[in-house]
A and B are shown apart, each in its own frame.
Chain A
Amino acid sequence: MTRGSAGAAVLVLVLAPPLLTSNPFLLHLTITVLLWTLLGAAWNLLGGFAGQVSFGHSTFFGVGAYTTMILYLKGGLAPWYGMVLGGMVAVLVSLPIGLICFRLRGPYFSLSTLAVAEIVRLVALNWEGLTNGPVGLLITTLPRVGWGGRTLDWESKAPFYYMIAVLALASMLATYRLSRARLGAYLLAIREDEDAAESVGIDTVRAKVLTLALSAFFTGLGGGFYGLYFRYVDPDAVFPIALSVEMVFIAVVGGLATVIGPVIGAVFLTTIGEMFRERFLVGHLIFYGLFMMLVIRYLPEGIWGGARRAWAKRP
Chain B
Amino acid sequence: MPLLTVTDLTKDFGGLRAVSHLSFDAEPGEILGLIGPNGAGKTTVFNLVTGFLRPTAGRILLAGRSVVGLRPHAITRRGIARTFQVVKPFPKLSVRENVTLAAFCHEAARRRAETLAAQVLERVGLQDKLDSRAADLTLGEQKRLEIARALATDPRLLLLDEPMGGLNPREVNAACVLVEQIRADGVSVILVEHVMKAIMRISNRIVVIHHGEKIADGPPGRVVNDPGVIAAYLGTRVV
Contact = CB atoms under 8 A, between A and B. Distances in A.
**Are A and B genuine complex partners?**
yes
Interface of A: 182, 185-186, 188-189, 192-193, 195-205
A196 B104 CA distance: 14
Contact of A193 (B71, B81, B90): B90
A182 B104 contact: yes
Contact of A201 (B77, B84, B93): B77
10 contacts: A189-B90, A192-B89, A195-B88, A198-B71, A199-B76, A199-B88, A201-B73, A201-B102, A201-B153, A202-B104
A103 B150 CA distance: 25
B90 A199 contact: no
- B72, B81, B100 interface centre (most CB from chain A within 10 Å): B72
B188 interface: no
B50 interface: yes
A215 to B, nearest CB: 21
A201 B90 contact: no
B52 A195 contact: yes
Contacts of A205: 71
Rank and list the top 6 A-B pairs by shortest CB-CB distance, nearest first: A201-B105, A192-B90, A200-B102, A198-B72, A201-B76, A196-B88
Interface in B1-35: none
User: Chain A binding site: helix, strand, loop or mixed by DSSP?
Assistant: helix
B73 A203 contact: yes
Contacts of B74: 203
Contacts of B102: 200-201
B144 interface: no
A78 B93 CA distance: 46
Nearest to B135: A192
Nearest to B52: A195
B32 to A, nearest CB: 20
A239 to B, nearest CB: 34
Interface in B100-151: 100-102, 104-105, 108, 110, 149-150
A203 B73 CA distance: 6
B152 interface: yes
B73 A189 contact: no
Given A185-B97, A186-B101, A193-B89, A200 B52 contact: no
Given A182-B110, A193-B88, A195-B84, A200 B105 contact: yes
- A182, A199, A204 interface centre (most CB from chain B within 10 Å): A199
A192 B71 CA distance: 19
Contacts of B88: 193, 195-196, 199
Given A182-B108, A189-B101, A195-B52, A200 B76 contact: yes
A192 B91 contact: yes
A197 B149 CA distance: 10
Contact of B73 (A182, A188, A192, A202): A202
A24 B86 CA distance: 59
Nearest to B83: A199
A193 B87 CA distance: 11
